[in-house]
Amino acid sequence: MEAPKPLTAFIFANGTTDDGPLVRRELAAAADAWIIAADGGARQAQYYGLPIHSVVGDLDSLDELEIAQLTEQGADIQRFPAEKNETDLELALLLAARKDAHRIRVFSALGGRLDQTLSNIYLLALAPLRHIDVRLMAGKQQAWIIYPGRTVIQGAKDDTISLIPIAGEAQGIRTDNLYYPLRHETLTFGPARGVSNVMQSETAHVQFDSGVLLVVHTLGRA
């Protein structure tokens, strides 16, 4: 099944469903999205009643009947060896990047395994994704990585914003329209100082000079 253009990619991982208002809002906003399932993420896409265009991974989480049904429905099946360097979600993200997706949303990427959850967050920093709008979606939360420069965060007054450094120090941070302002300050890997800030209007701004920040945006007060 051919990927649509212009290309928004919805990738479903094999974690928990994490349904919620932000997930539903995102799904409703892109009816023509390219749906990629990372192995057992096919079941997550089916939960939302979505057609699956591509299935990527070693397929150890799907049985042969499910794979046959997906093939009959027109899904492009890309099967990889079980012994590989990349996780299934990583393969799906790289596929979306190769196909020039300009916007990627990842669903069901959290779950019962802490190692997988952390690695799924770190996948946002893959080099091929650097200039693509890539976000993890879960319930009423979304998370994405920002790099030095100025970023506009869209939301609503009283939404919760956390800024978490994930590659050492993030330096020279300035914020606007957040309850706890940062004025040319440094957030250090370890301390939780950037957690649980609050938007004071429908937009907030973050600017910084060096480092990498994970933004976690939660609807309302967390």
Q: Is 74 left (phi over 0), alpha (psi -120 to 50) or beta?
A: left
- Gap between the Cα atoms of 211 and 171, Å rounded: 6
Which residue(s) pair with 52 in the sheet?
none
**Cα 124 from Cα 68, distance rounded (Å):** 31
Task: Say what the pLDDT of residue 111 is.
Answer: 81
pLDDT tens for 122-134 read 999 999 999 999 9
Q: In what order do the strands lie in the sheet with 149-154?
A: 149-154, 203-208, 170-176, 183-187
Task: Go through the chain and tell me how many residues it has.
Answer: 222
pLDDT for position 54: 97
- Residue 50 main-chain phi, psi, to 5 deg: -95, 145
Instruction: Give the per-residue pLDDT at 12.
Output: 98
Give the pLDDT of the chain (222 residues) as one tens digit per residue: 555 555 899 999 999 999 999 999 999 988 889 999 999 999 999 999 999 999 999 999 999 999 999 999 999 999 999 999 999 999 999 999 999 999 999 999 998 789 999 999 999 999 999 999 999 999 999 999 999 999 999 999 999 999 999 999 999 999 999 999 999 999 999 999 999 999 999 999 999 999 999 999 999 998
CA-closest candidate to residue 176, choices 148, 191, 197, 190: 197
Q: What angle do CA 82, 83, 86 make, to 5 degrees?
A: 90
Q: What is the DSSP string of 120-148?
A: HHHGGG-GGGTTSEEEEEETTEEEEEE-S
- Give the integer Cα–Cα distance in Å for 92 and 88: 6
Domains of the chain: 8-139 (3.40.50.10240), 146-218 (2.60.120.320)
pTM of the predicted model as reported, rounded to 2 decimal places: 0.94
Distance between CA atoms of residues 174 and 204, nearest Å: 11
State the Cα–Cα distance between residues 115 and 133, nearest whole angstrom.
24
Calpha distance 99→55 (Å, rounded): 14
What pLDDT sits at residue 4?
54
